[in-house]
Structure 1
Amino acid sequence: VMYNQQRYLIFFQYIGTKYSGAVKVPPHQLEKKGVQDHLEDALRRLRPLNPVSLSISSRTDRGVHALSNSAHFDFQRKNDKPPFTEEILVEALNFHLKAEQISVTRAYRVPDDFHARFRALSRTYVYRIALGVSQPAQLPLGELNRVCAMREAAAMLVGTHDFSSFRAVNSDMPFRNPVKTLDVASIQPGRAFVCEHFHREIPFWELTFQSKSFLYKQVRRMTGALVAVGQGRISLTKLKDILESRDSLAYPHNVVAPARGLFLTRVDYRESGK
């Protein structure tokens, strides 16, 4: 390995509305690019000698946002140039990303065997639910007066379970173990972390989920189920039946929460600061 090749771990955030998800899209799909496509374009503009390829830690779906996602990549500069410092890398990438709703928040130089996805100890997602918003496209909440039932439902999901009922069908399905350990499922009144996007104070509830990893659409399905419990559309017994059936088709099809309320808020690593 040349002395001027360096592996970096970056943390980045994005509003996911205009992207097809975190990971890159196949070249023949022209409609929307993934966040990864834009990050790799920005990296190429820094003229690496090696082909640029990002490994993203958390594959968020189309329309999902991130306050902190992460990825690693190798970057080799021309022979007479030392590796970029972390500060310069962040600045240079953001310069090339300024037309996008994507920004790099931090960079770290990491060992050559570091892997952003496999080294992650946990991922935390927050689903934000606005109360009293009556647009038909949004969750038809009215007042969420049954928070106690929702908290009881959340407690039922915490721990190690076969979450097959809470995953959507996709091509990864045969290869992913449906048994996951959900460390946190909590329901709290929201803090206004995107308050500046709204003209008036809208009351929020936040559903927080933390696990080492999640199945495809698991967080949106768990959110939808908890909200349905809060609305009295699903009983706690019914939720227990859905979980215990371990069957993707047992999940009621009209209950999945829409992507736009979901934020990946952190990816944790063992090293200090990461």
Structure 2
Amino acid sequence: MHRYLLNISYIGTSFRGIQKTVNKSELPRLDTSTVQGSLELALRVFRPTNEIQTVLSSRTDAGVHALHSTIHVDLERSDGNPYDTTTLTGVLNRTLDKHSLPIRVLSTQRVADTFHCRYHATGRTYLYRLAVARNVTEGAEGRGLKNKGYEVFLPVEEIDRCYFLQNATFDIKRLSDAARMFVGVHDFRTFMSTSRQKSQSRDHPMFTVRKIDEINIRPGKSLALGPNATLATETYDYWDIEIKARSFLYKQVRRIVGTLLAVANGRIDERSIYQMLTIPSKHNWDHRVLVAPACGLYLCRVHYRDTAFELPDETSH
């Protein structure tokens, strides 16, 4: 038996999340509703002698994308030899492409059988892509592009890949200043979705304590092509919100981004953030804040120490 680490990327629009739903009563089928299910069924092409069970390093919700995520899997070949990692990558990508699944394996590597893609990760970086329409007049602003009677060009290449806003009062400086309040160690109970709080026994007082290492706000750019790129650049200011921490609570990133957008749009002030951080409670969420939609969120990187991938001498080939 040998363990492999798959570095993967995917567009999450058509998936209901990365994590599969276990239903042993169903017959094996190509599960195109989750990233994990799709990968496990693609791995069956190699016909390993063991049952395929992948392990996720990070969970993403429906509609969230990944530029880089990781899973590990144990595979046993009938002759006992390890699979060639280049072959694994190529065959998996061809299988996924054959079924029109927007998942790509960036690379595959053998790792020690003690390696764990989740527990050995030293951090995760998320990226939120935001586009704010320019030259919006007072009274014309709306949430996203749903405001009736006010047309704003939306590049087709960006559909479900970025969050588009039109708001005459949007202030990126207010957003950047407010972001500093989240950096460091805080109890983020207020910023965790209540759905998993109800379904899981997570009552330990330290469970919701997390350390945000960095929040960086940078000018972004459009993914549009040709003439659409020019028009998109003329119509919008693009911004990238990058958040790095060892781990995150359920929907924590989207709630933080939503809070920052509420500050930038003038719906709340920094005092509201202070109250949500210093009085952590699921009942203390400021309902003027809208949770940022999944379409703009990307798992940008799962971080590991270089030594995490070292194979013991006796298993090297």
Deviation of 1:122 after TM superposition, in Å, equals 0.5
Match of 1:54 in 2: 54
185, 188, 199: which one aligns with 2:228: 199
Deviation of 1:199 after TM superposition, in Å, equals 3.0
Aligned residues, how many? 268
Is residue 17 from structure 1 mapped to residue 13 from structure 2 by the alignment? Answer: yes
Query: Match of 2:124, SS?
Result: strand
Query: Match of 1:69, SS?
Result: strand
Deviation of 1:234 after TM superposition, in Å, equals 0.9
Q: Structure 1 pair 148/106, CA: closer, same or farther in 2 (3 Å)?
A: same
Query: Match of 2:211, SS?
Result: strand
Deviation of 1:255 after TM superposition, in Å, equals 1.1
Deviation of 1:132 after TM superposition, in Å, equals 1.5
Query: Match of 1:221, SS?
Result: helix
Match of 1:153 in 2: 178
174, 194, 207: which one aligns with 2:202: 174
Q: Structure 1 pair 32/78, CA: closer, same or farther in 2 (3 Å)?
A: closer
Deviation of 1:191 after TM superposition, in Å, equals 3.6
Q: Structure 1 pair 45/175, CA: closer, same or farther in 2 (3 Å)?
A: farther
Q: Structure 1 pair 189/62, CA: closer, same or farther in 2 (3 Å)?
A: same
Deviation of 1:141 after TM superposition, in Å, equals 3.8
**Deviations 1:174-215, CA, capped at 9 Å, x for gaps:** 1671000000112111144x4459933343111110000000
The code of the aligned residue for 2:228 comes to: H
Match of 2:110 in 1: 109
- What is the percent sequence identity of the aligned residues? 36
Match of 1:96 in 2: 95
Is residue 189 from structure 1 mapped to residue 219 from structure 2 by the alignment? Answer: yes
CA contact (8 A) 1:56 1:70 kept: yes
CA contact (8 A) 1:131 1:142 kept: yes
Match of 2:39 in 1: 39
CA contact (8 A) 2:32 2:38 kept: no
Match of 2:145 in 1: 135
Mapped partners of 2:226, 2:49: distance in 1: 40
Is residue 221 from structure 1 mapped to residue 255 from structure 2 by the alignment? Answer: yes
Query: Match of 1:97, SS?
Result: helix
Q: Structure 1 pair 128/198, CA: closer, same or farther in 2 (3 Å)?
A: farther
Deviation of 1:158 after TM superposition, in Å, equals 0.2
Deviation of 1:117 after TM superposition, in Å, equals 0.5
CA contact (8 A) 1:20 1:34 kept: yes
Query: Match of 1:252, SS?
Result: coil
Match of 2:293 in 1: 258
Deviation of 1:13 after TM superposition, in Å, equals 0.6
Q: Structure 1 pair 66/248, CA: closer, same or farther in 2 (3 Å)?
A: same
**Deviations 1:149-190, CA, capped at 9 Å, x for gaps:** 111211000001101011001123616710000001121111
Unaligned runs of 5+ in 2: 135-143, 148-162, 310-317
Stretch of structure 1 that moved more, 151-160 or 26-35? 26-35
The code of the aligned residue for 2:146 comes to: P
Mapped partners of 1:32, 1:216: distance in 2: 23
CA contact (8 A) 2:64 2:294 kept: yes
Mapped partners of 1:206, 1:111: distance in 2: 36
Deviation of 1:140 after TM superposition, in Å, equals 4.1
Query: Match of 2:257, SS?
Result: helix
The code of the aligned residue for 1:12 comes to: I
TM-score by length of structure 2 reads 0.78
Mapped partners of 1:104, 1:196: distance in 2: 25
Query: Match of 1:114, SS?
Result: coil
CA contact (8 A) 1:158 1:185 kept: yes
CA contact (8 A) 1:186 1:208 kept: yes
The code of the aligned residue for 1:135 comes to: L
CA RMSD of aligned residues (A): 2.5
Match of 2:305 in 1: 270
